[in-house]
Chain A
Amino acid sequence: SQTIHQWPATLVQPVGSPLSLECTVEGTSNPNLYWYRQAAGRGLQLLFYSVGIGQISSEVPQNLSASRPQDRQFILSSKKLLLSDSGFYLCAAVGQGTDTQYFGPGTRLTVL
């Protein structure tokens, strides 16, 4: 079965600083990968998804970007954080031949 790692677990950053969140997947190859954001007390909003190396699709216009430099690595970045970027960021993966998304433990980001 697949395992999804995310780091860091928590992060406090000042407004205007850069951001890099990392997600790696074990136990499957060529997965579909996703970044979601969850605001406090809300459901999940899809930010980006990737069906392969270097292939990134964005679902909402925003201050963030994503990259997939390796098959099982997905990175969420920002050049300058905004207060509105605060939230809980979850990485998810769907393995080949399956239909179920599994999630990592998440990163809680606070922008001050």
Chain B
Amino acid sequence: AQKITQTQPGMFVQEKEAVTLDCTYDTSDPSYGLFWYKQPSSGEMIFLIYQGSYDQQNATEGRYSLNFQKARKSANLVISASQLGDSAMYFCAMREGLGSGYALNFGKGTSLLVTP
């Protein structure tokens, strides 16, 4: 079964606007971590933001924030004030407990295009 679901294959946003990328997850483990990565056309996976399952506050990193709704099992990424350089693939990922040496399960990604 898919553990990470990203339902938006592609998204458009105008420069300087905010955009939300959706992510839902499935786990029965009480201890888990949620991550967002950006993959530009060069291919490198760039870490953006992390949310632990026990964290009380939503994570924020500059223009990135994570809208963590634990009961709904969602961890949406919000990018504020979009820039042309934000155009890329965005992947949501989950680490469950101690299994697989902290390996990550990835969603299929969302392609974001920022337009002028």
Interface residues of A (CB under 8 A from B): 32, 34, 42-44, 46, 49-51, 57, 59, 88, 90, 92, 94, 99-106, 108
Contacts and interface: CB of A to CB of B under 8 A. Distances in A.
A8 B103 CA distance: 24
A88 to B, nearest CB: 6
A100 B47 contact: yes
Interface residues of B, number: 24
A88 B52 contact: no
Contact of B33 (A57, A99, A105): A99
Interface stretch (B11-19, B72-80, B105-113): B105-113
Contacts of B43: 88, 90, 105-106, 108
Interface in B61-116: 91, 93, 95, 100-109
Interface SS of chain A: strand
B44 interface: yes
A57 B100 contact: yes
Contact of B101 (A32, A43, A90, A99): A32
9 contacts: A43-B108, A43-B109, A46-B105, A50-B101, A57-B101, A59-B103, A94-B101, A101-B47, A102-B47
A83 to B, nearest CB: 21
A99 B104 CA distance: 11
Given A32-B101, A43-B106, A59-B103, A100 B91 contact: no
A60 to B, nearest CB: 12
